[in-house]
A = this chain, B = another copy of it.
């Protein structure tokens, strides 16, 4: 199997975009960015053995891995309230890999691009003794000075999250839809109402702390308002059982959006939200000195447990 034949297959099916002036097959792809639009630039990677496995009971198909790699980077573009324009992908295949695996992987990558109508503008393919690894670099676009950041939340802002949380490992971490359409709808409804946003990848508790740290504020969230995923059920019984709330607070890879919204805009958002994806008010932003609190049904509060996906080296 020569690189060319495989690359030619990739190029032939590569999704395009109106701003992509020159696509795959050159030393670089060329894009023409219209004036007045800002650009979001992101890189993300999936490594076999760390982020997925191709064998054993938790094995994922190459197509789902490809989709996840592209969707994961797209989720960060959604968290900025932007929309993807073009991706490039570096893939390292294990030596001796079947060509079918590479084509399935590609179908997952390109499938996500097609679903959201952005270009697969180029890539790099190598082969090594190491396991499969993918790096996705993504460019997104949005209004000038309009990117949602982790910083910018203010005391009084209302906290919303999309979808439901916890138990993602059952299946959602592979098959999720990045919240691009939800982010677009939120921007449409309240063009300047979002003060801060993050996609929940380390768990609600940890990612709320990221917003609070960058915005220099505290927060309170209401335990019983947190939308629990039905998939938490898969992990709430048996030997290593954890209660659904702990899963919702601590599990990673929900790929939902957590937003801090200015109070008047929050009212509009709650009233006008008609998408199928749930949008739930789960708490509010407080003064820095109060830290992050978890409020129980009876009104008692305790510090939000500092649990979540730990990036340790």
- Taking the complex as formed, is A34 at the interface, i.e. its CB lies under 8 A from any CB of chain B? yes
Tally A residues with Cβ within 8 Å of B. 76
Name which of A54-62, A82-90, A230-238 contacts chain B.
Answer: A82-90
Q: Contacts A30-B80, A49-B130, A149-B22 known; A97 to B41 CB distance under 8 Å?
A: no
Q: Can you name the residue of chain B whose Cβ is closest to the Cβ of A312? A: B2
- Taking the complex as formed, is A313 at the interface, i.e. its CB lies under 8 A from any CB of chain B? yes
Contact in complex: A6, B130 (CB < 8 Å): no
Contact in complex: B39, A33 (CB < 8 Å): yes
Name which of A121-129, A168-176, A217-225 contacts chain B.
Answer: A121-129
Q: Which residues of B sit under 8 angstroms from A39, Cβ to Cβ?
A: 30-33
Q: Contacts A1-B313, A2-B313, A27-B150 known; A44 to B130 CB distance under 8 Å?
A: no
CA A126 to CA B43, docked complex, whole Å: 12
Q: Can you name the residue of chain B whose Cβ is closest to the Cβ of A1? A: B313
Q: Can you name the residue of chain B whose Cβ is closest to the Cβ of A43? A: B88
- Taking the complex as formed, is A77 at the interface, i.e. its CB lies under 8 A from any CB of chain B? yes
Contact in complex: B31, A41 (CB < 8 Å): yes
Q: Which of A120-175 contact B (CB under 8 A)?
A: 121-131, 133, 135, 137, 139-140, 144-145, 147, 149-151
* Most chain B beta-carbon contacts within 10 A, residue among A97, A130, A145: A130
* Most chain B beta-carbon contacts within 10 A, residue among A30, A88, A139: A30
Contact in complex: A41, B30 (CB < 8 Å): yes
Q: Which of A16-68 contact B (CB under 8 A)?
A: 21-22, 25-45, 47-51
- Taking the complex as formed, is A251 at the interface, i.e. its CB lies under 8 A from any CB of chain B? no
Contact of A3 among B26, B140, B311 (CB under 8 A): B311
Offer 8 A-B interface pairs, CB within 8 angstroms, sorted by A: A28-B79, A31-B40, A35-B35, A47-B126, A47-B128, A92-B133, A125-B313, A127-B313
Contact in complex: A43, B97 (CB < 8 Å): no
Contact in complex: A28, B41 (CB < 8 Å): yes
